[in-house]
A = this chain, B = another copy of it.
Amino acid sequence: MTATPLLYLQSGGPTAVLNASAQGAIEAARRLDLPLYAARDGLAGLVKGELVDTTRATDAEVARLSTLPGASFGVSRHMLPTWEEAPQEWLAVRDVLARHNIHHLLINGGNGSIGCAARLTEFEQHTGYPLRVIGIPKTIDNDLMGTDFSPGFPSAARFLATQMREVAVDMASMAQRRIFIMETMGRHTGWLAAGTAAAAQYVGDAPQVVLVPEMAFDADLFLKKVSQSLDERGHCAIAVAEGLEGPDGKPLAESHHDAVYGHEQLGGVGTWLAGLIKRELDMKSHVAQVDCPQRAARHLASAVDLRMAHQAGSTAVEWIVNTHQGVMTAFSRRPTVTPSWEVVPVPLADIGDRERRMPPEFVDADNLWVTPAFMDYMRPLLSGPAVVPWDEHGLPDCRPIEWANL
**A188 to nearest B CB, angstroms?**
19
From known contacts A75-B175, A384-B394, A395-B382, infer whether A288 and B293 are also in contact, taking CB-CB under 8 Å.
yes
Indicate if A162 sits at the interface (CB-CB under 8 A).
yes
How many identical subunits does the complex contain? 2
Mark each residue of chain A from 47 to 59: 1 if its CB lies under 8 Å from any CB of chain B, else 0. 0000000000000
Does B201 lie within 8 Å of A399, measured CB to CB? yes
Does A70 lie within 8 Å of B173, measured CB to CB? yes
Q: Which of B77, B288, B297, B400 contacts A292 (CB 8 A)?
A: B288
Q: Quick one: which of A15-48 are within 8 Å of B by CB?
A: 16, 41-42, 44
Does B383 lie within 8 Å of A393, measured CB to CB? yes
Q: Which of B42, B71, B394 contacts A158 (CB 8 A)?
A: B394
A199 and B295 CA atoms in complex are apart in Å by 18
Q: Which of B71, B170, B395 contacts A69 (CB 8 A)?
A: B170
* Contact-residue bracket for chain A: 35 or more
Closest to A290 in B: B288
Q: Which of B71, B166, B268, B298 contacts A173 (CB 8 A)?
A: B71
In the complex, what residues of B have CB within 8 A of residue A382's CB?
393-395
Closest to A77 in B: B176
Closest to A257 in B: B284
Closest to A44 in B: B175
Does B385 lie within 8 Å of A394, measured CB to CB? yes
In the complex, what residues of B have CB within 8 A of residue A78's CB?
175
From known contacts A169-B398, A170-B295, A288-B291, infer whether A393 and B176 are also in contact, taking CB-CB under 8 Å.
no
Does A398 lie within 8 Å of B165, measured CB to CB? yes
Mark each residue of chain A from 266 to 298: 1 if its CB lies under 8 Å from any CB of chain B, else 0. 011001000000100000101111111101111
From known contacts A14-B170, A175-B41, A384-B394, infer whether A265 and B284 are also in contact, taking CB-CB under 8 Å.
yes
Indicate if A379 sits at the interface (CB-CB under 8 A).
yes
Indicate if A220 sits at the interface (CB-CB under 8 A).
no
Q: Which of B70, B176, B286 contacts A170 (CB 8 A)?
A: B70
Closest to A300 in B: B299
Does A72 lie within 8 Å of B173, measured CB to CB? yes
Indicate if A130 sits at the interface (CB-CB under 8 A).
no
In the complex, what residues of B have CB within 8 A of residue A241's CB?
none
Does A267 lie within 8 Å of B287, measured CB to CB? yes
Q: Which of B44, B175, B296 contacts A167 (CB 8 A)?
A: B296
In the complex, what residues of B have CB within 8 A of residue A284's CB?
256, 258, 265
Does A169 lie within 8 Å of B400, measured CB to CB? yes
Does A75 lie within 8 Å of B174, measured CB to CB? yes
Indicate if A405 sits at the interface (CB-CB under 8 A).
no
In the complex, what residues of B have CB within 8 A of residue A291's CB?
180, 286-289
In the complex, what residues of B have CB within 8 A of residue A14's CB?
170, 173-174
Q: Quick one: which of A39-97 are within 8 Å of B by CB?
A: 41-42, 44, 68-72, 74-78
From known contacts A76-B176, A394-B383, A394-B385, infer whether A169 and B296 are also in contact, taking CB-CB under 8 Å.
yes
Indicate if A402 sits at the interface (CB-CB under 8 A).
no
A263 and B389 CA atoms in complex are apart in Å by 40
Q: Which of B290, B383, B393 contacts A392 (CB 8 A)?
A: B383
A162 and B286 CA atoms in complex are apart in Å by 22
A15 and B71 CA atoms in complex are apart in Å by 34
Does B395 lie within 8 Å of A165, measured CB to CB? yes
Indicate if A260 sits at the interface (CB-CB under 8 A).
yes
Indicate if A347 sits at the interface (CB-CB under 8 A).
no
A-B contact pairs, 7 of them (CB 8 A): A71-B174, A76-B175, A176-B260, A288-B289, A303-B394, A384-B394, A385-B390
**Residues of chain A at the chain B interface (Cβ within 8 Å):** 13-14, 16, 41-42, 44, 68-72, 74-78, 158, 161-163, 165-176, 180, 198-199, 201, 256, 258, 260, 265, 267-268, 271, 278, 284, 286-293, 295-300, 302-304, 379, 382-385, 388, 390, 392-396, 398-400
